[in-house]
Structure 1
Amino acid sequence: MKLHAIEAGNFKLDGGAMFGVVPKVLWNKTNPADANNQIDLAARCLLIEDGNRLILIDTGMGNKQSDKFFGFYNMWGDFDLQRSLKEKGFSKDDITDVFLTHLHFDHCGGAVSWNDSQTGYEPTFKNATYWSNENHWDWATKPNPREKASFLSENILPLQESGQLKFVQPNSNPNEIVSDLNFGVLFVDGHTEKQMIPHIKYQDKTIVFCADLLPTAGHIPLPYVMGYDTRPLLTLGEKEQFLKNAAANNYYLYLEHDAHNPIITLQETEKGVRLNEVFSINDIL
């Protein structure tokens, strides 16, 4: 097995929204805001090369939305999903599986593209099976008013219409290998219904793709919960258990949204679980 970091693009979001009730004077120390109160974020996907399988975890925003849409997110840097795949020696047609942690636009937008005539949409990865889970799919296709702007039908429905969509069956043990994917999945419900957090055995390590359970290293303290989470009190409990397990088992946490701290480990301290070490991609993968 080989793992490859796939950088799908950097963007910015309002720091207050990213940290919920936590005052700016606190979160600004770890995630400094610009003049518009926005903080740097990444869309760092992960590619698993496992035998004849190429499994892509999440896809970033993609490029099919309007300039006005992307203008809200102040895209920065020159990262691009397909260019990043090419730099690793692969094309979009090589991908066998696309695992979507959840269906918010910044995680699944790249899963669907315009067709050649730009008259409709089609899956970006024509040879891939796309993986979600039934509970989350129902949640995303019948969105509540709070999340409606994050679940875009053009990112979601073409996957089912193509016949390429399959569902993972939820379980309560992230160490239990999911059939067909060769990694375990933790299901969490605080951010959105049945978000999936991959746990990947890699060499002598466990790599955890944190998605929106832990967006950045700045979100480690328990109260630092995003304003986007639909059930913040549930996030608190899920996050506490996850952080304790990560520290106790020396998990390497792959941070999808942290533009400056790609992989971290945690440690128990008198103040609770806190940051231990920060690693570059080349240090670990």
Structure 2
Amino acid sequence: MTKLYSIANGYFKLDGGAMFGVVPKTLWSKTTAADDNNLVRLAMRSLLIESNERLILVDTGIGNKQDDKFLAHYYLHGDDSTDKSLAAHGFSRADVTDVYLTHLHLDHAGGAVSRVNGALVPAFPNARYWTHRDHWEWALDPNPREKSSFLKENLLPLMEQNVLHFLDPDDRSQFPQELSTRLSSGHTESMMMPFVRYKNRTIAFVADLFPTTAHIPVAYVPSYDVSPLKTMQEKAAFLIEALENEYILFFGHDPDIECCTLRMTDKGIRVDRTFPLTEIPG
């Protein structure tokens, strides 16, 4: 039987304007609070999937191997950590069999590698690490827009230690049948989104296609996205599919909300119910 766990890796902050792109603050501030520096609070939340003797961790947060000056740019805060959260569910890093990286931006993949006695090593010693080949090549030769988000120290140790694997969304033998993968390329090239069948529902880890519930409206696209119009197209199509199929959305960056369902309103598809992962019925 498949089991799901929410893993809290702490919180960070980014510029509110950057998180909502061309949407004016008078609109996005109705759903998202900013501090005096116009920074908004974001979670780094992973999804842990236990299925068929596999323990699959989706994303890792920013990690802690960078120096204090670097990490200060992201205003890391909170008492949560990967180790504490794993332990709360009875696991440790050594139990993780697979690390599924939706994409290789530092706030999703930074925790994949640790610094031990000065050496960079995989942070989950018994795990295989998964990315998409096209995204891997994109990250190794980054465009100027994303260059600061793709750090070689988060990537190259995985290849050098021979733990890196490329996920083929069409090959259902790589992971348990309950897990499937969808690609999205508006935020970055070939970002992977896992879909999990759980308690007769589909749980969609929406990664940075929808960073938070406040990004449900199609026009609310971060300026970080490399192809904003593509993001809007992908969001519009996904929302229709998710509504029709009653998907439950799981959010990696929403600071307060783990999951939601959707409903149709006179303004389009919007959030319906919000709840923690533990309250999914079944």
Contact 1:178–1:184 (Cα < 8 Å) also in 2: no
CA–CA distance in 2 between the matches of 1:272 and 1:151?
Answer: 35
1:164 alignment partner in structure 2: 163
1:199 alignment partner in structure 2: 195
CA–CA distance in 2 between the matches of 1:123 and 1:238?
Answer: 33
1:179 alignment partner in structure 2: 174
Contact 1:10–1:42 (Cα < 8 Å) also in 2: yes
1:272 alignment partner in structure 2: 268
2:39 alignment partner in structure 1: 38
Contact 2:19–2:222 (Cα < 8 Å) also in 1: yes
Contact 1:102–1:196 (Cα < 8 Å) also in 2: yes
Task: Please give the per-residue CA displacement for 1:155-175, whole angstroms capped at 9, x wherever unaligned.
Answer: 01111111111101245xxxx
Where structure 1 has 5 or more consecutive residues not aligned to the other structure, the ranges are none
Question: Secondary structure of 2:147's match?
Answer: coil
1:97 alignment partner in structure 2: 98
Could you tell me which amino acid in structure 2 is paired with residue 38 of structure 1? L
1:72 alignment partner in structure 2: 73
1:81 alignment partner in structure 2: 82
TM-score by length of 2: 0.96
Could you tell me which amino acid in structure 2 is paired with residue 230 of structure 1? V
CA–CA distance in 2 between the matches of 1:180 and 1:28?
Answer: 40
2:233 alignment partner in structure 1: 237
Shift of 1:180: 2.5
Shift of 1:2: 0.6
Could you tell me which amino acid in structure 1 is paired with residue 142 of structure 2? P
CA–CA distance in 2 between the matches of 1:168 and 1:35?
Answer: 42
CA–CA distance in 2 between the matches of 1:204 and 1:52?
Answer: 20
CA–CA distance in 2 between the matches of 1:281 and 1:127?
Answer: 26
Task: Please give the per-residue CA displacement for 1:217-251, whole angstroms capped at 9, x wherever unaligned.
Answer: 10011110010000001101001001111111111
* RMSD (Å) for aligned C-alpha atoms: 1.3
Could you tell me which amino acid in structure 1 is paired with residue 204 of structure 2? V
Contact 1:178–1:185 (Cα < 8 Å) also in 2: no
Shift of 1:179: 2.7
2:120 alignment partner in structure 1: 121
Shift of 1:177: 4.1
Shift of 1:281: 2.9
Q: Given the superposition, is the C-alpha separation of residues 178 and 60 from structure 1 closer, same or farther in structure 2, using an over 3 Å criterion? A: farther
Q: Which structure 1 residue ranges, 4+ long, deviate > 6 Å from structure 2?
A: none
2:140 alignment partner in structure 1: 141
Task: Please give the per-residue CA displacement for 1:249-273, whole angstroms capped at 9, x wherever unaligned.
Answer: 1111000000111101111222211
2:27 alignment partner in structure 1: 26
Identity %: 51
CA–CA distance in 1 between the matches of 2:210 and 2:113?
Answer: 25
Could you tell me which amino acid in structure 2 is paired with residue 180 of structure 1? F
2:154 aligned with 1:155, yes or no? Answer: yes
Where structure 2 has 5 or more consecutive residues not aligned to the other structure, the ranges are none
Question: Secondary structure of 1:214's match?
Answer: coil
Could you tell me which amino acid in structure 1 is paired with residue 157 of structure 2? P
